[in-house]
Amino acid sequence: MSPAPHTQLLVGGRIYSASAPDATSMAVTDGQIVWVGAERPGRALHPDAEIVDLHGAFVAPAFVDTHVHVTAHGLDLTGLDLTGTASREETLQRLREHAAGCDDLVLWGHGWDQTRWADETAPTTADLDAAAPGRAVYLTRVDAHSAAASTALRAAADPADLPGYHPQQPLTAAAHHAVRGAARALLTPAQRARARAAALDDYAAHGIVAVHECGGPDISGRDDFTELLGTDHGVQVRGYWGEAVATAEQAGALLAVTGAHGLGGDLFVDGAFGSHTAWLTAPYTDRRDCCGTSYLTVEEITAHVRACTIAGVQAGFHVIGDAAAAAVTAAFAAVADDLGGPAVAARGHRLEHAETLTVAQAAQLGRWGVIASMQPVFDALWGGPDGMYVTRLGADRAAGLNNFAGIASTGMSLAFGSDSPVTAARPWSMLRAAVHHHTAGSGISPRAAFAAATRGAWRAGGVRDGLAGTLDPGAPASYAVWEAGELVISAPKDSVQRWSTDPRSRVAPLPDLEPGTDDPVLVRSVHRGRIVYDR
């Protein structure tokens, strides 16, 4: 005999629901939202429910982070985090201190960014050898597309004949992938497990109940990817494996052996601006001899999209530079001409980062159902007149990056993530960055940003039921409870704003995302009725 259904009635709160914008109460039965509205009818309809008093808290759909590297993020939390170091010397001092108290086989650190230092000299091999004599040291730059490596680690990888090699400077391209593989091989299963648990706990503690892991042979390795997908944690993990295929049969076989949900994520078409590896049509402003790195040809991209489309598999690519954006657009056009636009659109293929995507390209890709999985904090960190983007690309090219409003205006679906550990998985800061873009006209409204981090993120993960990411009846009970101040409704200053801010429009309000405002404080994260974080 099956147990009787269990219902919780949340009362005394502020519920973010399109179907009931004034709601103060929500009923959840066995992990599903069954009713939203005012408290009095809620109590009448559910007289036997367990009452949960929200004490005025704000309840909203929980966040989904569409681009993460779980174990790498956990290694930051449990090991050497170099984020925010103000100089090369501070970076090396943190390494010395970490090495003195750590007997791990590899000293793994992440987050240094020489473009934010007065002396923009990156750590050298000799620097690492002096700071941690004889140790295997792997320190990734903030964008994770280059890394400083000690002599001991280089000896294990033997990258000298590979593209991107330099005997003293940080390694890029294939040389970087080789030393990353060698560093990864020195991590023990216990280290990886500890890191994964720390990362998943951190996501849950910031209102994130599902993440999309972007793994691959040059990123996390198959062992770590398989272990992650088998981890028992309340935070749901959807796994993407970044390895190109040429046929539908290969796509099916690779999905079977990896356990992945899709063949995309960080399937590299190119690298990143900070490491001069994003693939450009014209040279970098600060390196006139360099147009970046291309890892896949248009023909290889086309073959992968075609194979995945035929196999019924969601595909995707890491795309940052404008040459990379042009290459993937051409590839999707070729497959749409071959198989038909509806066949391509049915798969919900993705582009990760898509920083240089133009409005014209977005209009094309949106017609084929391609989703833009983007990271708003990139602009917050590197945009603006004095930012890294201007240094690398010049003011004109930099101003066109991460054009959220332009892309959204074409109808192309947006989904937001952090790329942690590249940026911290802090959803409210991410939404604030999307709204307050450095380039006028490129930011989006708070409601659009929130949708991209909830409903749009579920859609990017293949959930298209129209309910996931909402607090409407019938939706999974995946929500977060926040202590928040005054709730507001804001939008661009046009006729939409005048309508949407009028109380008669019945638009649900959100916490204030103006610069300088405090983030809401998380009380509880719940995924499908299961508490994954409770303060």
Mean of the pLDDT values across residues 25-44? 97
Alpha helices for 312-437 (secondary structure H) = 322-339, 341-345, 359-367, 377-382, 388-393, 395-399, 404-409, 427-435
The single-letter code of the amino acid at 334 is: A
DSSP one-letter code for 503: G
319 sits in which H/E element: strand 314-319
* 3-class secondary structure, 10: strand
Tens digit of each residue's pLDDT (9 = 90 or more) over 292-325: 999 999 999 999 999 999 999 999 999 999 999 9
166 sits in which H/E element: none
Contact in structure between 335 and 248 (CB atoms under 8 Å): no
Residue 499 is encoded by which pair of tokens?
């309508």
Q: What angle do CA 359, 388, 94 make, to 5 degrees?
A: 135
DSSP per-residue codes, 18-50: SS-TT--EEEEETTEEEEEE-HHHHHHH-TTSE
What is the rounded distance in angstroms from the CA atom of residue 127 to the CA atom of residue 238? 39
Whether the per-residue pLDDT at 254 is higher than 90: the answer is yes
Residue 238 is encoded by which pair of tokens?
């959807």
**Residue 5 pLDDT level (bands cut at 50, 70, 90):** confident
**Residue 413 pLDDT level (bands cut at 50, 70, 90):** very high
Percent of the chain whose pLDDT exceeds 70 = 97
Paired sense of beta strands 7-11 and 50-53, if any: parallel
Is 71 exposed, middle or buried, given 0-12, 13-18 or 19+ CB atoms closer than 10 A? buried
DSSP one-letter code for 370: -
Contact in structure between 342 and 372 (CB atoms under 8 Å): no
Whether the per-residue pLDDT at 502 is higher than 90: the answer is no
Contact in structure between 493 and 440 (CB atoms under 8 Å): no
What is the rounded distance in angstroms from the CA atom of residue 404 to the CA atom of residue 53? 38
Tens digit of each residue's pLDDT (9 = 90 or more) over 109-135: 999 999 999 999 999 999 999 999 999
- pLDDT value for 506: 64
- pLDDT value for 344: 98
Tens digit of each residue's pLDDT (9 = 90 or more) over 434-452: 999 999 999 999 999 999 9
Whole-model pTM above 0.75?
yes
The single-letter code of the amino acid at 254 is: L
Residue 137 is encoded by which pair of tokens?
């040291």
Tens digit of each residue's pLDDT (9 = 90 or more) over 171-190: 999 999 999 999 999 999 99
Q: Exposure string (b/e) for 210-242, b if CB count within 10 Å is 16 or more?
A: bbbbbbbebbbbbebbbbbbeeebbbbbbbbbb
Whether the per-residue pLDDT at 503 is higher than 50: the answer is no
Beta strands across the sheet bearing 106-112: 80-81, 106-112, 136-141, 146-149, 171-172
- pLDDT value for 494: 41
Mean of the pLDDT values across residues 333-351? 98
Mean of the pLDDT values across residues 144-153? 96
Paired sense of beta strands 262-263 and 479-483, if any: unpaired
CA distance to 279, 317, 377, per residue, from 67 (Å):
20, 12, 13
Is 51 exposed, middle or buried, given 0-12, 13-18 or 19+ CB atoms closer than 10 A? middle
Q: Is the pLDDT higher at 491 or at 51? A: 51
Whether the per-residue pLDDT at 495 is higher than 60: the answer is no
Tens digit of each residue's pLDDT (9 = 90 or more) over 72-83: 999 999 999 999
- pLDDT value for 500: 41
Q: Crossing angle for the helix pair 248-258 and 298-311, nearest 10 degrees?
A: 70
Tens digit of each residue's pLDDT (9 = 90 or more) over 454-484: 999 999 999 999 999 999 999 999 999 999 9
